[in-house]
Amino acid sequence: MLLRIHELMLEARVLEERLITMYKQGDGYFWIGGPGEEAFNIPLGLLVDKGQGVDHDYLHLHYRSSGTLLAMGADRIDSLRQMKNTATDPYSRGRNFAGHASIRKWNVAPISSPIEVQFSIAIGTAMAQRNAKGITIVQGGDAGTAEGDFATALVWASRKGAELPLLMIVTNNKFGISTPYDGQHGEVRISDRGKAFGMKTATIDGNDPEEAWAQLKAAMDYVRTERKPFLMEAMVSRLYGHSSASGANFVTNETDPLTRFEKKLEERGLLTRAKADEMRAKYTARLLEASKKVREEPQPAPESIYDYVFADENYVAETKNGEK
């Protein structure tokens, strides 16, 4: 399992690097993603009860969640399609930024750019699961906890006798865009906010996949069996800045969970440098090929803007091109 986690962490990293390269080469307008969160997001994706409907887990993720989706088995090329905003992008049909997935067949709600709304929406799927088998998992960053929706989730999830099976996750990278944690928060630990609501809480090292796995497993088991909320804060890194708007260049002053884990595996004799390099080369080549394929795929047609406004089968936009 450790090697499987490593392989997925590596692949997730290479995927984000490919997306950044695509952006820098003009094959996309914007990049935002999760390099630095792999040690947490990969175990999360592997532990999810994947499927559709209330007896499986609902996921309300954020735009740094590519590793989670990759671990769940999402087709890698689809992330590239969204970066290139092609008509074949299954997540948004060329409408949304990279990292904004939507996978209904796996209960993955559409990821949207606001950093907080998923906390208000997650209480709804969790409410629908009070007497079901699945749980709801909602994830956001540390900066998003300043928004009211985070308090909404705390309040609604912890009402006595109406507790929700909700795992609230804050991946704390200690930045809100460019503003450091200390400039935004007075509380020492975000997870402490759950204590006032009687919630089980934990702050964990999200850069260590073994700790992340164990803590996530324990938290998910608790939510699954007790049908009560849990607030987990995972300390993670942000290795390429906030987004392409801040350059998307590798930073050297933060812990790289991938190299740290590789070192650990080497020390234990489970992995060699050569083997890791070989894997990296394999995934890099594979994703390069995929990006070439995506480049040839069609862009969405202008008239497609009117598709999927309403879910009625026969709906025709009233003012389409100024006429009916």
| CA distance linking residue 192 with residue 199, whole number of Å | 9
Burial label for 45, CB within 10 Å (0-12, 13-18, 19+), is buried
**Binding span for another protein by CB under 8 A among 70-78, 100-108, 193-201, 272-280:** 100-108
**Binding span for another protein by CB under 8 A among 21-29, 96-104, 210-218, 236-244:** 96-104
| Contacting residue, 23, 63, 91, 175, with another protein by CB under 8 A | 91
| Contacting residue, 21, 66, 68, 129, with another protein by CB under 8 A | 129
CA angle 60, 210, 212 (to 5 degrees): 25
Q: Looking at beta carbons only, is 75 or 277 nearer to another protein?
A: 75
51 binds another protein (CB under 8 A): no
Spatial strand order of the sheet with 58-60 comes to: 58-60, 136-141, 166-172, 230-235, 200-205
198 binds another protein (CB under 8 A): no
- What DSSP state is assigned to residue 110? P
> Please, which residues have CB within 8 angstroms of residue 34's CB and are 6 or more apart in sequence?
12, 16, 41, 63, 64, 65, 66, 67, 99
Helix-, strand-, coil-residue percentages of the chain, each rounded to 5 = 45, 10, 45
Q: Which helix (H) or strand (E) holds 125?
A: helix 117-128
Pairing of strands 58-60, 136-141: parallel
* Three-state secondary structure call for residue 170: strand
Least Å distance, CB 252 to another protein, is: 36
| Contacting residue, 7, 24, 51, 112, with another protein by CB under 8 A | 112
**Binding span for another protein by CB under 8 A among 149-157, 179-187, 223-231, 254-262:** 149-157
Q: Looking at beta carbons only, is 85 or 237 nearer to another protein?
A: 85
* Nearest one of 256, 284, 264, 263 to 38, comparing CA atoms: 256
Residues 34 and 16: beta-carbon distance below 8 Å: yes
Least Å distance, CB 156 to another protein, is: 5
Q: Looking at beta carbons only, is 160 or 268 nearer to another protein?
A: 160
Q: Looking at beta carbons only, is 14 or 54 nearer to another protein?
A: 54
| Contacting residue, 3, 25, 29, 159, with another protein by CB under 8 A | 159
| Contacting residue, 23, 40, 156, 175, with another protein by CB under 8 A | 156
**How many C-beta atoms surround the C-beta of residue 179 within 10 A?**
10
| CA distance linking residue 95 with residue 64, whole number of Å | 18
Least Å distance, CB 225 to another protein, is: 20
| Contacting residue, 92, 171, 172, 244, with another protein by CB under 8 A | 92
149 binds another protein (CB under 8 A): yes
> Which residues, numbered 282-311, are part of the site for another protein (CB under 8 A)?
307-311
How many residues at the interface with another protein, by CB under 8 A? 48
Interface residues with another protein (CB under 8 A) are 53-54, 58, 89-93, 95-96, 100, 102-104, 109-110, 112, 114, 117, 119-129, 136, 148-149, 152, 155-156, 159, 307-312, 315, 318-319, 322, 324
